[in-house]
């Protein structure tokens, strides 16, 4: 199957970039027969859409963290496929019954924050269910009675797949159900499907698929649902080279969704792909957005050659996300990589007459006498 062509054909062109709010998806939802299942803290509607008549029930939700929108874009690409006359769509709808919550945290999406309007991380609220959004997610889970759960998220650009300098463009997790992180048939089902998705993604982004840490936390929704004996898969949409708007990553999530759903291993565990799952490179924090190497600076009155790094902050300004680079660390930085790397070849750093990078200041500076960097990038 030509997944690249499939995505090109069904990509939802009205959704682009990182700032996706309820206003953006409402016209798309109006094309479907949706249900408002409740409201957010600030009274925004939370929508549910169901389709398909197959025996395997799949529950997917996105943007429970408001600033994690890549999977929402991919979800609407996938919905466009399901509503098409493709034989694949007919096949999927005959095999599965789907339930979607495309935006669990519309208040956080509007403010571009991880948390909801009460400053609560909904992915740490699975035990207390203190928030209306958490309650609606759990109520949908209880009423829909899924056979699989797909928990759709974004992760920061700091993660690599392993430690060899490959960004973790997509990462997965079959969450634990207890502190011991034991592996039972429920986790095996999730692992098997992750292995199927990884096998396809390796054709598109070799070495750029990661495996998320499986430390157990019952307050996390994936761990909670796995403990309730439902195979749950965490999706983490990460960084692809020079793709800060995550348009390539959205395609990879779409490919993962479709290829994973085409993998058939329902109800009875025929294969045990635990080893293949554990062989997926584990996520590691090994990246900064910018690394500047072999820079001459003055530190404690001494001239030294060292490295420093900068990181983007995603800042919502006038309704748009701006990527603003700030200096965050100075030192040897052994084992770290930059999505953007520059070798100063022992030339001196200056910024507004100061010869030492200052933590938390904008990454606007000069290397040597004439190499100028603005917002982290050489101009």
What value does the mean pLDDT take over residues 116-134? 98
pLDDT at 263 over 90: no
pLDDT at 1 over 80: yes
> Where do runs of H (alpha helix) occur along the chain?
3-10, 22-29, 70-82, 87-95, 106-111, 132-144, 185-201, 221-227, 247-262, 274-278
Same domain, 222 and 258: yes
Domain with residue 270: its CATH number is: 3.40.630.10
Task: Categorize the per-residue pLDDT at 265 as very low, low, confident or very high, splitting at 50, 70 and 90.
Answer: very low
pLDDT at 266 over 60: no
Which contacts qualify for 272-275: CB closer than 8 Å, 24 or more apart? Answer: 272/188, 272/192, 273/188, 273/191, 273/192, 273/195, 274/183, 274/188, 274/191
What pLDDT, on a 0 to 100 scale, did the predictor assign at position 270? 56
Same domain, 182 and 64: yes
Task: Categorize the per-residue pLDDT at 258 as very low, low, confident or very high, splitting at 50, 70 and 90.
Answer: very high
- 320-331 and 302-317 as β-strands: parallel, antiparallel, unpaired? antiparallel
Same domain, 200 and 116: yes
What pLDDT, on a 0 to 100 scale, did the predictor assign at position 22? 98
What pLDDT, on a 0 to 100 scale, did the predictor assign at position 34? 97
Domain range for 207 is 3-284
Domain with residue 318: its CATH number is: 2.30.40.10
- 377-378 and 287-299 as β-strands: parallel, antiparallel, unpaired? unpaired
Task: Tell me 374's DSSP state.
Answer: E
Same domain, 263 and 291: no
Task: Categorize the per-residue pLDDT at 301 as very low, low, confident or very high, splitting at 50, 70 and 90.
Answer: confident
pLDDT at 127 over 80: yes
Question: To the nearest 5 percent, what fractions of the chain are helix, strand and coil?
Answer: 30, 30, 40
What pLDDT, on a 0 to 100 scale, did the predictor assign at position 216? 97
What value does the mean pLDDT take over residues 10-35? 97
Same domain, 32 and 116: yes
Chain center to CA of 208: 13
pLDDT at 267 over 90: no
Q: Return phi, psi of residue 129, to 5°.
A: 50, 50
Q: Are 106 and 46 in contact (CB under 8 A)?
A: yes
The whole-model pTM stands at: 0.96
pLDDT at 5 over 50: yes
* Strands across the sheet containing 365-367: 349-350, 365-367, 371-374, 377-378
Q: Considering its fold, how many domains does the chain have in total?
A: 2
Domain boundary, last residue among 257, 284, 311: 284
Same domain, 171 and 213: yes
pLDDT at 300 over 90: no
Polymer length of the chain: 379
pLDDT at 269 over 80: no
CA distance 201 to 199: 6
Place of tokens 């490179």: 281
Mean pLDDT, all residues of the chain:
96
For 101-113, write each residue's pLDDT tens digit: 999 999 999 999 9
Q: Which two tokens stand for residue 266?
A: 């329902």
For 193-250, write each residue's pLDDT tens digit: 999 999 999 999 999 999 999 999 999 999 999 999 999 999 999 999 999 999 999 9
Same domain, 230 and 315: no
What value does the mean pLDDT take over residues 301-318? 96
Domain boundary, last residue among 234, 265, 284: 284
pLDDT at 64 over 60: yes
What value does the mean pLDDT take over residues 317-338? 97
């Amino acid at each position: 199957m030509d997944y690249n062509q499939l995505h090109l054909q069904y990509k939802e062109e009205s959704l682009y970039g990182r700032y996706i709010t309820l206003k953006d998806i409402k016209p798309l939802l109006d094309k479907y027969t949706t249900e408002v299942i409740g409201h957010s803290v600030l009274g925004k509607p939370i929508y549910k859409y169901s389709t398909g008549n197959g025996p395997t029930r799949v529950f997917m939700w996105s943007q429970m963290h408001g600033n994690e929108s890549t999977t929402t874009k991919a979800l609407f690409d996938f919905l466009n496929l399901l509503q098409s006359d493709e034989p694949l769509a007919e096949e999927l709808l005959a095999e599965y019954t789907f339930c979607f919550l495309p935006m669990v945290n519309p208040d956080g999406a509007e403010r571009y924050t991880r948390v909801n309007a009460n400053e609560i991380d909904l992915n740490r609220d699975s035990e207390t269910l203190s928030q209306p959004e958490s309650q609606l997610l759990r109520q949908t889970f209880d009423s829909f009675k899924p056979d699989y759960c797909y928990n759709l998220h974004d992760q920061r650009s700091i993660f690599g797949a392993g430690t060899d300098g490959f960004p973790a463009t997509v990462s997965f997790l079959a969450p634990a159900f207890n502190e011991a992180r034991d592996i039972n048939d429920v986790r095996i089902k999730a692992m098997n499907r992750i292995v199927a998705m990884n096998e396809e993604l390796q054709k598109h982004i070799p070495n750029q698929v990661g495996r998320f840490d499986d430390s157990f936390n019952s307050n996390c929704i994936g761990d909670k649902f796995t403990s309730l004996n439902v195979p749950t898969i965490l999706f983490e949409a990460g960084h692809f080279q020079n793709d800060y708007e995550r348009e390539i990553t959205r395609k990879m999530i779409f490919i993962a969704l479709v290829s994973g759903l085409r993998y058939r291993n329902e109800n009875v565990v025929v294969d045990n792909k635990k080893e293949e799952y554990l062989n997926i490179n584990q996520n590691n924090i090994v990246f900064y957005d910018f690394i500047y190497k072999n820079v001459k600076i003055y530190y404690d009155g001494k001239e030294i050659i060292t490295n420093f790094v900068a990181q983007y902050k995603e800042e919502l300004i006038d309704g748009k996300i701006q990527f603003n680079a700030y200096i965050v660390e100075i030192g040897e930085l052994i084992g770290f990589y930059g999505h953007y790397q520059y070798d100063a070849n022992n030339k001196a750093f200056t910024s507004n007459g100061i010869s030492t990078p200052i933590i938390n200041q904008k990454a606007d500076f000069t290397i040597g006498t004439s190499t100028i960097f603005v917002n982290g990038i050489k101009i």
